[in-house]
């Protein structure tokens, strides 16, 4: 008997996912004998749900990138991890857009079920997983500081409103010590982005050669504090070789250690959600390889070394 567990966040995005549940169940029953639904009721609930699940053939989550992060976190706490797949119904859905999903929930269920199982590289920041991005500094708090009611009302425009407001705020520089690729550095940076993705904050093709199974993530540390120069460098980042963009330090690596030396600092954002501050503001970021995820076939040839 093949079993599929559906975990859904009823508060994600602007679509009322619960009204699609009968159609979702009907589609999944064409491939699975039993389908069970689990609704998340509070932040962190999906972690506990997945951690305590019995062994099943597939866990399908419905929600935003943060919901998928919770599902992944719970899965990595298990002795025997389960096969995951994720259907985007959040506000921005960077992961879903990168993998080739559409805006149609039922169509996406079919795309997933008829996809392939791929091995992903997942980031770990102090052993807490992030599926596609971890950020610190200017702009990175927008996703978790934007009110949920506003996201429900105007969708992705809520983030743009937050970005516009942040643009006019003073840009703080953070004193950061870091070690990467066997070398140690220290400098003043306005923001840091560590990612394994080509779609971040709704922006497509930030990097041209991202592979999700190459044991590397992309690291950007920005030294710029002037507002117009930050936007200019972010634009150039999407157009040119990031290692040649002024004000940007760029690395491809599978490990980086950072310490934020400021007395008072912001928290990191991982997959759109706030990460609890670490003791001494020290962060060890690594890769967890070979996490199995069922994905649509559409972008496999672009995103994976292993094209099969």
Is residue 260 within a helix (H) or strand (E), and if so which, with residue range?
strand 255-260
* pLDDT beneath 50, residues of the chain: 142, 144-147, 150-168
Chain position carrying tokens 């770990």:
124
Q: Spell out the residues 6+ positions from residue 226 whose beta carbon is closer than 8 angstroms to its own.
A: 171
Q: What is the pLDDT of residue 144?
A: 45
Q: What is the pLDDT of residue 13?
A: 62
- DSSP secondary structure of 195-258: ES-SEETTEE-SSSS--TTSS-EEEEEE---SHHHHHHHHHHHHHS-GGGSTTEEEEEESEEEE
pLDDT digits (tens, 9 = 90+) for 137-195: 865 554 544 445 534 444 444 334 344 344 445 678 899 999 999 999 999 998 899 99
Q: Give the HSE-up count for residue 197: Cα atoms under 13 Å, Cβ half-sphere.
A: 28
Read off the pTM.
Answer: 0.85
Is residue 301 within a helix (H) or strand (E), and if so which, with residue range?
helix 300-303
pLDDT digits (tens, 9 = 90+) for 165-174: 444 456 788 9
Q: Helices (DSSP H) in the chain: which residue ranges?
A: 21-28, 45-51, 65-76, 94-99, 105-113, 142-145, 148-154, 157-167, 227-239, 300-303
């Amino acid at each position: 008997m093949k079993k599929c567990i559906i975990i859904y966040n009823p508060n994600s995005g602007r679509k009322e996912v619960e009204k699609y549940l009968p159609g979702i169940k009907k589609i999944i029953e064409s491939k699975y004998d039993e389908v069970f639904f689990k609704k998340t009721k509070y932040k962190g609930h999906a972690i506990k749900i997945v951690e305590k699940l019995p062994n099943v053939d597939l866990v399908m989550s419905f929600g935003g990138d943060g919901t998928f992060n919770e599902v992944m976190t719970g899965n990595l706490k298990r002795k025997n991890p389960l096969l995951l797949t994720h259907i985007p119904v959040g506000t921005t859905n960077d992961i879903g857009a990168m993998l080739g999903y559409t805006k149609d929930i039922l169509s996406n269920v079919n795309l997933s079920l008829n996809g392939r199982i791929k091995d992903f590289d997942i980031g770990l920041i102090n052993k807490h997983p992030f599926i596609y991005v971890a950020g610190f500094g200017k702009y990175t708090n927008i996703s978790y500081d934007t009110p949920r009611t506003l996201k429900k009302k105007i969708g992705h425009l809520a983030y743009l409103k937050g970005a516009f407001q942040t643009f006019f705020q003073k840009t703080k520089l953070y004193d950061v010590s870091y070690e990467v690729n066997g070398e140690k550095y220290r400098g003043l940076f306005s923001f840091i982005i560590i990612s394994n993705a080509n779609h971040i904050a709704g922006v497509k093709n930030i990097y041209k050669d991202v592979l999700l199974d190459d044991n590397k993530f992309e690291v950007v540390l920005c030294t710029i504090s002037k507002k117009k120069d930050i936007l200019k460098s972010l634009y150039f980042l999407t157009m040119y070789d990031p290692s040649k963009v002024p004000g940007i330090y760029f690395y491809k690596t599978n490990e980086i250690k950072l310490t934020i030396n400021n007395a008072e600092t912001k928290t990191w954002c991982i997959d759109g959600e706030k990460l609890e501050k670490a003791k001494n503001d020290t962060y060890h970021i690594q890769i967890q390889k070979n996490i199995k995820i069922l994905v649509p076939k559409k972008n496999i040839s672009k995103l994976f070394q292993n094209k099969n």
